[in-house]
Chains A and B, each alone.
Chain A
Amino acid sequence: MTKVLAIDDSRTIRNLLRMSLENAGFEYHCAEDGRLGVDAFPDVRPDVVITDINMPNLDGYGVIEELRRGPNATKVPIIVLTTESSDELKARARAAGATGWIVKPFDDASLISVLKRLTGHAA
């Protein structure tokens, strides 16, 4: 099963992600802030990471930086989940090493299709 690690400080968003992802046959894991997300990464060993940007302790850019360049550097797709879709944000996220982005509020279909495209996950 394709494993997703979702990092978002909003319980609501986590719940929504859980629902969408589990329905689509993903294995769902989550963390409540950036630091916990980075810490959880080696344990969960996800196939794809979804991260929020505005979070306490470590923001989304920091998460991407650490996952790409930290001690457990990884090349799994990292998708930014954000309410903004400015070019500035995308450029910054990409410079950090983000693979793609999804704009909140997201609909199930586009979320799942992006995940499938980036992970090759078959439902």
Chain B
Amino acid sequence: MQPSIRDTFFEECEELLEAMVEGLGIIDEGSYDSETVNAVFRAVHSIKGGAGAFGLTDLVSFAHTFETVFDEVRSERLAVTPELVAVLFRAGDQLATLVEAARDETEVEAGPRDSVVKELKRYLDEPAEPEGGAAGGNGTEPPGGFQPMTLDFSALALPAAEPVAPMRSFEIRFQPDRAMMANGHEPMLLLRALSELGTLEVSAQSDELPAFDELDPDECYLKWSMQLETDSDRAAVEKIFEFVEGLCTLEITEAEGAAPPAEAPAMAPPPVAASPAAPAGAPAPAPAESAPAAPPPPPRSRVGDDEAKGGKGSSGGANARATLRVELDRVDRLINTVGELIINQAMLSQRIAELELPKGADVEVELEDYKLLAREIQEGVMAIRAQPVKPLFQRMARIVREACAATGKSARLVTVGEHTEVDKTVIERLSDPLTHMIRNSIDHGLEKPDKRREVGKEEEGEVRLSASQRSGSIFIEITDDGAGLNRPKILEIATSKGLVPPNAELSDSEIDNLIFMPGFSTATEVSNLSGRGVGMDVVRTAIQALGGRVSIASETGKGTTLTIILPLTLAVMDGMVISVQGQTMVVPIASVLETIRPTDKDIHKVGSGEMVLSIRGSYVPIIDVASSLGMHGQSNPITKSVLILVETEQRGQCAMALDAIHDQRQVVIKSLDRSFGDIPGISAATILGDGKIALILDPDGVVQIGGSRADAGAPILQAMEFFDE
């Protein structure tokens, strides 16, 4: 089997599973109609159909049981109860597991699968099969009702070669009914197929043929008597009449030989017309000649990739082109090119600025248009990669169910803003951290049902997952209505692990954010859910790798909210162009809270040369970017500097001191990883309008180095020297 077709199958399975989960969700809410039920049925059915084609017997078998139960729901023989819905959800989860296993060619755990099969079968009249039956998976016995029809055409194709089959002789009498013609059969073709079995002698009886003016073109007036000499057996002969059985008068008699003179199979009612005959079985009529198509209706369903690849395989005309599947590579190449276009546009702008043309020169007006168009193209291209978070959110419903089952808690998942679109890569890489955070919310956040009842909450907890797009960023929030963070305990753990000095005075928010520290894990015993050796620090690292931030807010007794803030795209960002000791650099706008030109009285010295900025009644540390990065040139006095207030993970708000802010512009992110590896303080590089390379600062890293050794910036210097060449 071609891998590409197999890949398509699993891609399609993903979509079908999404449709299934969505349908089940609607059924669960109770606001469903028959089309909802049909859609779920079709999804499971299509998975089964495809799985059959690839010989995935385990998957076929399970999907079949699932589908059978669902068919009962569909035909309203089975009432929808909360218990049934729960079973259907579990079956859906199991189906997803089986699809994954089939895709990855791994084994599924038999235990959970068999128990779901058992639960499903309780809704069917058939008794639960002994283990190894439907769920056995060795494929020896397909489940009832799904017996692939194996057609053996070898007898047809091969001339009798080695063991010479005995020649047989059949007498066949055949008269088509009107219905046979109406159903698109062509007697001529049947006779031709018969003749391919051996030597066929045919005589047609045309005595029922009417006069021409009485001839009904939809009727077959002819009947045939045939003598077939063949080495094929009776089954092969009957096979030819397979589809017309019941639509004709047919007698097959085997003359002499060992076989008993068999009775005719499936005799139809007597011939219809007894009038004279005419040949009616003219070649199958072509579809109506003129028949101009009615105005094409709007596309109803998406067009699959199978049409995308070839021009001739068109179906419903141009109107059916609602979507187009494109290789990701092509899109990424396009994105890369657009990145270059943005750079080129910046360079052109710079060149034109250097010409110092009179204000309002034509070329400047046109340059503005160019900028606008470039930006539009860029946004358009980015939109191609954008996908709704819905499928991701839907998968989380399964995580919630599994986590509840493992912890004995009860929770429902509420999703908001699932149509928010996010870059495809971001969605893919968000799955793991989100899974972990949801598990955490249930494992650590929500109380057990009895506890919840005690404090006057609903026994069923709520985990709310929301997505929204605000001011150029994507916000994803995970909110639980649990007990909130246990701050004394967090502080105690952090202190005992040496993450914070004893007696440190931390604000609530600082305590809350301790859970993101590496090496912090609140689970006193390692639960099989959250405590897989990874803590929230891994979540934070994953989010940061996407150029995002994560923070937490919690209210005792009321719940906890985790907020992920992500950039809209990974390839381009809005940056603030700054300079530090003559080096041009870029700070991501997303991390800038405000810019400040401080006066003397705003700056205070504390301890050994550390400076703090007094701002609106509180103090934030000042980090000198130049010294953080290990530049040893002449530093400006802080009062001559510009400060950028940033929010950091480690130290909360900090003010980064630098020499000047030049500009705010879109920059194309170019990774440094391949050439320089991970450089603390630097996240990537970009090419500015003058063709120079500028490093993009990572404020978190800068602040962190600023708080430690002064020579930690050495690798950065190397990188800068490299680009200065």
Q: How far is the CB of B70 from chain A (nearest CB, A)?
A: 11
Contact call B189/A120, Cβ cutoff below 8 A: yes
Contact of B46 among A9, A36, A41, A75 (CB under 8 A): A9
Contact call A94/B247, Cβ cutoff below 8 A: yes
Contact call B314/A29, Cβ cutoff below 8 A: yes
A25-69 interface bits toward B, Cβ cutoff 8 Å, 1 = contact, 0 = none: 001111111011101111111110000001111000000000010
Q: How far is the CB of B108 from chain A (nearest CB, A)?
A: 21
Contact call A118/B186, Cβ cutoff below 8 A: yes
Contact call B300/A33, Cβ cutoff below 8 A: yes
Contact call A32/B320, Cβ cutoff below 8 A: yes
> Cβ of B79 < 8 Å from any Cβ of A?
no
By a CB distance below 8 angstroms, the chain A residues around B150 are 107, 110
Interface residues of A in 53-105 (CB under 8 A from B): 54-57, 68, 71-78, 83-86, 94, 97-105
Contact call A74/B304, Cβ cutoff below 8 A: no
Complex Cα spacing A78 to B2, Å: 28
Q: How far is the CB of A109 from chain B (nearest CB, A)?
A: 6
Given the known inter-chain contacts A105-B52, A109-B153, please indicate yes or no for A97 contacting B296, CB distance below 8 A: no
Q: How far is the CB of A35 from chain B (nearest CB, A)?
A: 6
The count of residues in chain B whose C-beta lies closer than 8 Å to any C-beta of chain A is: 69
Interface residues of B in 301-350 (CB under 8 A from A): 301-307, 312-317, 320
Complex Cα spacing A68 to B314, Å: 22
B400-438 interface bits toward A, Cβ cutoff 8 Å, 1 = contact, 0 = none: 000000000000000000000000000000000000000
Contact call A83/B52, Cβ cutoff below 8 A: yes
> Cβ of B287 < 8 Å from any Cβ of A?
yes
By a CB distance below 8 angstroms, the chain B residues around A13 are 46, 49-50, 53
Given the known inter-chain contacts A36-B316, A83-B45, A113-B151, please indicate yes or no for A19 contacting B189, CB distance below 8 A: no
Contact call B151/A117, Cβ cutoff below 8 A: no
B249-263 interface bits toward A, Cβ cutoff 8 Å, 1 = contact, 0 = none: 000000000000000
Contact call B284/A104, Cβ cutoff below 8 A: no
Complex Cα spacing A106 to B246, Å: 24
Contact call B304/A99, Cβ cutoff below 8 A: no
> Cβ of B529 < 8 Å from any Cβ of A?
no
Contact call B182/A35, Cβ cutoff below 8 A: no
Contact call A16/B184, Cβ cutoff below 8 A: no
Contact call B313/A99, Cβ cutoff below 8 A: no
Contact of A18 among B242, B301, B306 (CB under 8 A): B306
Q: How far is the CB of B41 from chain A (nearest CB, A)?
A: 7
Contact call A36/B300, Cβ cutoff below 8 A: yes
Given the known inter-chain contacts A12-B12, A15-B8, please indicate yes or no for A29 contacting B313, CB distance below 8 A: yes
A82: nearest chain-B partner, CB-CB: B49
Residues of A within 8 A of B (CB): 5, 9-16, 18-19, 27-33, 35-37, 39-47, 54-57, 68, 71-78, 83-86, 94, 97-107, 109-110, 113-114, 117-120
Mind listing 20 A-B residue pairs with CB under 8 Å? A12-B46, A13-B53, A29-B315, A39-B296, A40-B315, A40-B320, A43-B293, A44-B314, A73-B288, A83-B48, A94-B247, A100-B242, A104-B49, A110-B149, A110-B150, A110-B153, A113-B151, A117-B240, A118-B184, A118-B189
